[in-house]
């Protein structure tokens, strides 16, 4: 087994799985062909086939009282030509996105992340301090080999685990919290892989898929966390 390798530009074994287009308020990852995806996206949750994953940057003024956010979001996606995309919303400036990938034994994992922690919480403890504004972590992670639906779910769980490890390592606490946050109340993960009959059935940490996924997410999360903490003048105990 080889150690996780970063996917350097020009490395033929590390051809990018998707292109990235950022024109605020949209950030779009586009695949050359449909991918099998699983997520809890607001507009296309569960298992779907899609070519695009689209982030929409929103403001407090966009989400007015009484608004149906799912319908509003679907309308915005359609207006922008992204009706068939798996969509995510974020208050983060979508220009502040982070990309990383890792290769293990011929398997490549590639991810795209936007990150904000304003409404960070710790699992099992809903925050009771005053709300300080929107913030969320949205992650797309693609695996280069076909995955069985069960393996897609398993890999998605590793994305969440790696995200949480990175956040805890950063040591960020909201005002009034004694322990670091582990995520936010509105995080979303999209896990994708190419369709195929010869699909991997397992994606645990002991597999090449699982190792590559974890390594890619940790790299992107570390960069995203460092940028957000600096931009928000946050000091931590980490």
**% of residues, the chain, pLDDT over 90:** 76
| pLDDT score at 130 | 58
Q: Has residue 238 got a pLDDT over 70?
A: no
Domains, in order of start, for the chain? 5-231 (3.60.70)
Q: What are the pLDDT digits (tens) for 145-160?
A: 999 999 999 999 999 9
Q: What is the 3-state secondary structure (H, E, C) of the chain?
A: CCCCEECCCCCHHHCCCEEEEEECCEEEEEEEEEEEEEECCCCCCEEEEEEEEEEEECCHHHCCCCCCHHHHHHHHHHHCCCCCCEEEEECCCCCCEEEEEEEECCEEEEEEEEECCCCEEECCECCCCCCCCCCCEEEEEEECCCECHHHHHHHHHHHHHHHHHHHHHHCCCCCCCCCCCCEECCCEEEEEECCCCCCECCCCCCCHHHHHHHHHHHHHHHHHHHHHHHHCCCCCCC
The mean-pLDDT minimum among 57-66, 80-89, 224-233 falls in 57-66
| pLDDT score at 237 | 66
pTM, full prediction? 0.92
């Amino acid at each position: 087994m080889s150690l996780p390798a970063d996917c350097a530009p020009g490395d033929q074994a590390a051809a990018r799985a998707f292109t990235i287009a950022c024109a605020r308020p949209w950030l779009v990852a586009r695949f050359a062909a449909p991918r099998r995806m699983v997520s809890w996206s607001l507009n296309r949750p569960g298992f779907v086939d899609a070519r695009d994953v689209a982030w929409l940057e929103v403001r407090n003024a966009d989400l007015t009282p009484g608004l149906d956010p799912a319908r509003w979001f679907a309308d915005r996606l359609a207006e922008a030509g992204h009706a068939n995309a798996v969509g995510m919303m974020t208050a983060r400036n979508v220009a502040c996105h982070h990309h990383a990938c890792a290769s293990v034994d011929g398997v490549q994992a590639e991810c795209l992340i936007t990150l904000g922690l304003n409404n960070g919480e710790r699992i099992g403890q809903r925050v009771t301090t005053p709300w300080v504004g929107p913030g969320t972590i949205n992650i797309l992670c693609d695996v280069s080999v076909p995955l069985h639906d069960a393996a897609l779910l398993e890999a998605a769980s590793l994305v969440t685990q790696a995200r949480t490890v990175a956040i805890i390592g950063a040591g960020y606490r909201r005002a009034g919290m004694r322990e670091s946050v582990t995520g936010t109340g509105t995080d979303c993960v999209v896990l994708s892989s190419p369709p195929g009959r010869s699909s991997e059935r397992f994606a645990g940490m002991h597999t090449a898929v699982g190792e590559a996924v974890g390594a890619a997410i940790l790299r992107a999360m570390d960069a995203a966390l460092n940028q957000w903490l600096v931009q928000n003048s946050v000091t931590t105990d980490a």
